Amino acid sequence: MLSPEILADPVELTRVLVDVESVSGDEAELADQVETALRRAAHLSVERHGNVVLASTHTDRPQRVILAGHLDTVPIADNLPSTVEGDVIHGCGTADMKSGVALALNLAATVARPRYDVTYLFYDCEEVEAERNGLNRLAKTHPEKLAADFAILLEPTYGLVEAGCQGTMRAVVTAVGRRAHSARSWLGVNAIHAAGAILNTLEAYEPRTVTIDGCTYREGLNAVRIAGGVAGNVIPDECRIEINYRFAPDRTEAEAAAHVRELFADFAVEITDSAPAAMPGLASAIAKEFLDVVGQPPQAKLGWTDVARFAALGVPALNFGPGDPNLAHKRDERVEIPKIRAGAEVLRRWLTA
């Protein structure tokens, strides 16, 4: 139960949110609790779309900002219910990203007249395939709900501003050969051996480093899966390598695909998945005001995050949250209580100045 006392304390709120299990696809209970809590605030109008909960202020400010967080977590790894040790809360979702959700929920419940109008957005299925992502669904069915001048995604950044994000593309590069019995291997062509050339290209690849708006994006090109082979006595006729290209925001998806195809021009290349990068978008006045309150230089966001969905809708967006991104998805995931308090303080100062 998200009582007013719990909603008023972002640390206590984090613990309560963490202890409501909400692995992707199983967010209904948590969405119910969030919706119920928000509907008690007279200054908010609340909507529910599946397991997406939207709450908005309507105070006729000239500008609107979005504070967004996903409700779901990766699968639990013997790390629930949460525990507290000194200044640290341990448990699944503490960093990614229920401590961030707690900051937004705390503000939603307690700031009746913010400096800008605010849309608080809590959504489901961020940790799974894009088609199920609640924000992605909303962007397609109700893009007008995402109209805003600026957005903050409360993903773990350890209290820094992480701006924009890299694009990500997956491709399958296939080496082919000809089957034969392995006792007469010279009658065949070994596709796994041929795939060595693909791995050599990957091993020798020098990824770019690109700086935009003071944010430095470091690219990466990696094999993430390899598979080949027919049977223990057959020269294999196919070897498939799935690669993942993380590209800086100065490249479009089309440019990224052309780059991958050029690198592996001797092989069949199938692009299987792609998401655009997002420019850091730090030029707007609201972004600058937020950066001033944070008081730290912005960093490039390296992972792909839903800020790219806002960027695609023309809404400048950045990541800012109390969790350590390096602890996301780990068995020993945790969040530092002082980081929660500091993040809450930054957002409150910015929204109520």
Which residues here bind a copy of itself, judged by CB under 8 A? 166, 168, 170, 181-186, 190, 192-196, 199-200, 202-203, 207, 218, 220, 222-236, 239, 241-242, 244, 246, 273, 302-304, 329
**Shorter beta-carbon distance to a copy of itself: residue 159 or 228:** 228
Strand order in the sheet with 83-85: 83-85, 88-90, 334-336
CA neighbor of 321 nearest in space, from 302, 282, 297, 294: 294
Q: Tell how strand 150-153 and strand 317-319 pair up.
A: parallel
- 126 in active site: yes
Q: How far is the CB of 230 from a copy of itself (least distance, A)?
A: 8
Q: How far is the CB of 28 from a copy of itself (least distance, A)?
A: 26
CA neighbor of 19 nearest in space, from 124, 85, 119, 93: 93
Q: How far is the CB of 333 from a copy of itself (least distance, A)?
A: 14
Task: Give the number of other Cβ atoms within 10 Å of residue 71's Cβ.
Answer: 29
Handedness of CA 91, 96, 97, 99 (dihedral sign): positive
**Shorter beta-carbon distance to a copy of itself: residue 83 or 233:** 233
- 9 in active site: no
Out of 72, 124, 155, 333, pick the active-site residue.
72
Omega of the bond prior to 81 within 30 degrees of 0, cis? yes
**Shorter beta-carbon distance to a copy of itself: residue 167 or 322:** 167
Q: How far is the CB of 225 from a copy of itself (least distance, A)?
A: 3
Q: Are 303 and 55 in contact (CB under 8 A)?
A: no
Task: Give the number of other Cβ atoms within 10 Å of residue 235's Cβ.
Answer: 23
Strand order in the sheet with 52-56: 45-49, 52-56, 117-123, 64-70, 150-153, 317-319, 162-163, 299-300
Q: How far is the CB of 313 from a copy of itself (least distance, A)?
A: 22
Out of 126, 219, 333, 336, pick the active-site residue.
126
Alpha-carbon distance of 266 to 123, in angstroms, equals: 43
Alpha-carbon distance of 229 to 191, in angstroms, equals: 9
Alpha-carbon distance of 73 to 125, in angstroms, equals: 8
Alpha-carbon distance of 65 to 152, in angstroms, equals: 8
Alpha-carbon distance of 127 to 10, in angstroms, equals: 23
**Shorter beta-carbon distance to a copy of itself: residue 111 or 202:** 202
What is the residue type of 340? I
> Rg of the chain's alpha carbons, rounded to an integer?
23
Q: How far is the CB of 133 from a copy of itself (least distance, A)?
A: 15
Active site residues: 72, 126
